[in-house]
Amino acid sequence: MMDRRWKIIFLCIMFVGLLVSLPAGVLAGANDEIRIAVGGPHTGFAAEFGAEEFRGVELALQELGGKIAGRPVKLMKTDTKCDASEAVKKFRDSLLRDKVHAFIGPVCGSSGLSIVEWAKDYPDLPILIAYSAPEDVTMRKRQYNVLRPGWTGTQDNYYLGKYVVQEKGWKKIIMIGQDYSFPWGQTHGFIRGFCASGGKKVYKIYHPPNTEDYSSYLLKIRSMAKDYDAVAMNTAGSDAVALFKQFFEFGLDKQIKLFGFTNAFDSTALPTLGDKAIGMISAMHYVEGLEYAKKGMFSKKVIDSWLRFKKAYMAEYGHVPSCPAEQGYVCLMLYARAVEAVGGDIENKKGELLDALHKADMTDAPRGPFVLDDFGHATQNVYIREVQKHDGQLVNVPIKVYRDVTQFTEYVKMKEAYMRQPSASRDYPPGDCSKLCANGLGPYPDGKCPK
């Protein structure tokens, strides 16, 4: 038993520590400081995405010399844990406690959806969604103050679906992915493009995140391999590495083709996947090997702005930037340009600032030029990428580019009909193309197809 005096001393230290920490958290900086909260997961399976996002924001601020429109900038990292209610909690804390002027983030899908609801109550507050990809954030539930210089799962994967049918001739696909909203959104876009281009069937297998042993799923795939053309890997992070390795251990590579959705062959995962990954196809609006593309695919300006970012990033952090890093970078640049457009007076010109954000010129973005559409979402290139080896390193290289892709993909002329479709979920849209119309949309209850 410890001496009673020590007990009291210990508790006193704790109490004093608490008191000391109270004002430190509340202390706001100088009056002209611009405070920006950067929200993303810093713990849990998606922590690397949050870390990359923050690095990108930091790099952008460094390039701007730590100032926007002559005002010093303070970045505040906040951990939203890939949890929708945690995101709301942390965003509210940052707004009320730190009195931030703008938000960058969140990263995870469900967090984006809860934040856009939350944003309704603060219509003057600019929120730049970094990596969160459910299309509803800037579509069915759009808010004028919520902008997304990022992507939607549908935007990127629609063209992957189109590509595998048209160029590869694969019409029956087994999709295996993690069971949460991000992979659901990815599958949603893929099925639309796949079915609209003449695909037949997507068999969906969802596994819980953080699965280590895939043998039961792989056995199932083996038993189905004869009837299907390819397997789509819709998994990310450490799960993707485990699934990829076990796929080869089971010898499935000799029985069926493999390709991936956006994050499956992410630049952070490639070194672990090894040379087996060479030749793997995926699609995204971002590609870290843009400079290795065939000559003539991109203008010099596009390649130059990409290389400038890539070199600066590698000099600072020592590795190839991944997509969330670029997204964070672009978010801060976009905000900085809008703030400069209103002369730095963000306190009094809130409406003008939002307008400026919507109009900001991002034709020199590292990922390739983009503009924001009426809903505040990026209209940009989508790349079909192939893993190649250059200078001894595995990189994704664009082999085909679809330009000026909006979040409505090929439904841009029928926005209203598209938005009447149900949101992406675990079961929607169905994997069986015969249940959808020829254009990839679901029929109305009366059986008629949206036109």
Partner 1 sequence: MSSTPTKENQGHRRKILYLIVGLIIISLPFWISRFGLALSTQIFFLTILVMSFTFMARHGGLVSLAQVSFFGISGYTLGILSVKAGIPFPYPYLLAIIAPPITAAIFGLIAIRVSAIPFLMITLAFGEIAYGTARHWSSLTNGDNGINNIPDIILFGVSFIAAKEPIRFYYLVLIVFVICFWLMNKINHSSFGLAFLATKQSSSRLEALGYPVFMIKYFAFIISALFAGISGILGTTFEGTINPDSIWFGTIMFMLIAAILGGVNHPLGPLVGVTVSTILERYIEPLTDHYRIVVGIIFLCTILLARQGIMGFLETRPIIQRVRRWFGFE
7 touches partner 1 by CB under 8 A: yes
431 touches partner 1 by CB under 8 A: no
Taking the complex as a whole, the smallest distance from the CB of residue 117 to partner 1 amounts, in Å, to: 4
Taken as a whole, the chain contains a residue count of 451
Task: Return the DSSP state at 226.
Answer: G
210 touches partner 1 by CB under 8 A: no
- What is the three-class DSSP state of 172? strand
52 touches partner 1 by CB under 8 A: no
- What is the three-class DSSP state of 381? strand
Separation in Å, CA 220 to CA 61, 198, 226, 231, 280: 49, 25, 11, 12, 22
Task: Indicate the residue among 238 and 423 with the shorter CB distance to partner 1.
Answer: 423
- What is the three-class DSSP state of 212? coil
Q: Which three-class secondary structure string do you get for 70-105?
A: CEEEEEEEEECCCCHHHHHHHHHHHHHHCCCCEEEC
67 touches partner 1 by CB under 8 A: no
**Phi, psi dihedral angles at 253 (to 5 degrees):** -60, -25
Q: Considering only residues 31-50, where is the footprint of partner 1 by CB under 8 A? A: 42-43
Task: Indicate the residue among 292 and 428 with the shorter CB distance to partner 1.
Answer: 428
11 touches partner 1 by CB under 8 A: yes
Task: Indicate the residue among 78 and 267 with the shorter CB distance to partner 1.
Answer: 78
- Cis? peptide before 429, omega within 30° of 0: yes
- Token code pair at residue 444: 């109305």
Taking the complex as a whole, the smallest distance from the CB of residue 7 to partner 1 amounts, in Å, to: 5
- What is the three-class DSSP state of 206? strand
The residues, any chain, with a CB within 8 Å of residue 21's CB and separated by 6 or more, are: none
Task: Indicate the residue among 109 and 398 with the shorter CB distance to partner 1.
Answer: 109
Spatial distance between the Cα atoms of 383 and 426, rounded to a whole number of angstroms: 26
By CB under 8 A, name the one of 49, 103, 151, 184 that touches partner 1.
184
Taking the complex as a whole, the smallest distance from the CB of residue 10 to partner 1 amounts, in Å, to: 6
109 touches partner 1 by CB under 8 A: yes
By CB under 8 A, name the one of 35, 55, 81, 201 that touches partner 1.
81
Task: Indicate the residue among 78 and 396 with the shorter CB distance to partner 1.
Answer: 78
Part of the chain binding partner 1 (CB under 8 A), chosen from 3-11, 293-301, 304-312, 382-390: 3-11
122 touches partner 1 by CB under 8 A: yes
86 touches partner 1 by CB under 8 A: yes
Note the helical H segments in 27-76. 47-63
By CB under 8 A, name the one of 60, 61, 100, 113 that touches partner 1.
113
Part of the chain binding partner 1 (CB under 8 A), chosen from 21-29, 63-71, 151-159, 312-320: 21-29
Are 328 and 53 spatial neighbours (Cβ–Cβ below 8 Å)?
Answer: yes
- What is the three-class DSSP state of 68? strand
Part of the chain binding partner 1 (CB under 8 A), chosen from 117-125, 148-156, 277-285, 400-408: 117-125
Spatial distance between the Cα atoms of 358 and 42, rounded to a whole number of angstroms: 29
Separation in Å, CA 89 to CA 97, 122, 131: 12, 14, 19
91 touches partner 1 by CB under 8 A: no
**Phi, psi dihedral angles at 383 (to 5 degrees):** -105, 135
CA atoms within 13 A on the CB side of 122: 19
1 touches partner 1 by CB under 8 A: no
Binding to partner 1 by CB under 8 A, coded x per residue (else -) over 372-411, reads ----------------------------------------
12 touches partner 1 by CB under 8 A: no
Are 258 and 233 spatial neighbours (Cβ–Cβ below 8 Å)?
Answer: yes
Task: Indicate the residue among 363 and 425 with the shorter CB distance to partner 1.
Answer: 425
Q: Considering only residues 134-153, where is the footprint of partner 1 by CB under 8 A? A: 134, 141
Amino acid in position 190: F
89 touches partner 1 by CB under 8 A: yes
Calculate Rg over the CA atoms of the chain: 23
Spatial distance between the Cα atoms of 71 and 69, rounded to a whole number of angstroms: 6
Task: Indicate the residue among 78 and 157 with the shorter CB distance to partner 1.
Answer: 78
313 touches partner 1 by CB under 8 A: no
Task: Indicate the residue among 149 and 183 with the shorter CB distance to partner 1.
Answer: 183
Count other C-beta atoms under 10 Å from residue 155's C-beta: 27
427 touches partner 1 by CB under 8 A: yes
Q: Which residues bind partner 1 (CB under 8 A)?
A: 2, 7, 10-11, 14, 18, 21-22, 24-26, 42-43, 76-79, 81-86, 88-89, 92-93, 96-98, 109-110, 113-114, 116-118, 121-122, 134, 141, 179-181, 184, 423, 425-427
